[in-house]
Chain A
Amino acid sequence: MEVKIRAGALVVLFGFLLLAVASVRPFASPESTAMDDYFIQNAQEETGSNNVVTSVVFDYRALDTLGETTVLFSAVCGIFTIFIGRKK
């Protein structure tokens, strides 16, 4: 009985995902590309990096990367606390 409920939920979610993907804009032609075109045009003279993804990660969105490394660091601190933080 419970298995039937879960399978029904899975089927409903499959329909939802199919509807969502059918209503998303078509593949390989994004609509608004103004920000990314600005990055591609100006990344070399503003950040001095050939790799535009690196210039976005480490210069335009450096605070985002700071939060990302904070997440990784706090996850490692959590594992550290779980395993050997409880010594008496």
Chain B
Amino acid sequence: MKTGKEDTGLSPIVETVAYLLAVPIATFGFYVALHGHLTPGGGFAGGAIVATIAALFLAAFGRSIIKGLHAKAFSSLRTLKNIGITAFGVLVLISLSATFLHRFLANSGWFFKISVPFGRNAGQLGSGGIIPLMNLAVGLEVVMGISLAVILLLVIDEGENSESIGGGARE
């Protein structure tokens, strides 16, 4: 945990590959979350896939990627947490409405105009009603939650903050 030397990550090859891999990972996670009503997966799986970008960057760049913005680190983390709170509230409203409304939003609007054919079919993206929106909300919440947990578990154990926690313990 305390290595003693500055943790600046791995070689530039790994950093470049991490940069290149971040976009396909995010795209694939978004695809899994959006197609949750057609294919295996859903908001939780897609959110977990996108949240691996945080672990990938922490493994590739080391803790210095957070220390570089150390003054604004806490505020950015709190911003992430607020986004998670907002997605959570949206999920509350949407899930309540979807529980009490019967096929809410299905074949109604511009995106949801397709009704699902019964039985075995090929699957259309716009046929899910409100379920893709709920998948995206859950995916956003899971992305923020797991990323914040990974960042907090792996990064915030050095520096002034751990001194404040440790100093409070020894008194």
Contacts and interface: CB of A to CB of B under 8 A. Distances in A.
Q: Indicate whether A and B are direct neighbours in the complex (CB within 8 Å).
A: yes
Given A66-B92, A72-B141, A44 B135 contact: no
B168 A54 contact: no
A65 B128 contact: no
B156 A50 contact: no
A10 interface: no
Interface residues of A, number: 32
Contacts of B53: none
Contacts, number: 113
B131 A73 contact: no
B161 A87 contact: yes
Interface of A: 44-51, 53-55, 57-59, 62-63, 65-66, 69-70, 72-73, 75-77, 79-80, 83-84, 86-88
Interface of B: 36-40, 42, 74, 77, 81, 84-85, 88, 91-92, 95-96, 98-99, 102-103, 106, 115-116, 118-119, 121, 123, 127-129, 131, 134-135, 138, 141-142, 144-145, 148-149, 152-153, 156-157, 161, 164-165, 168
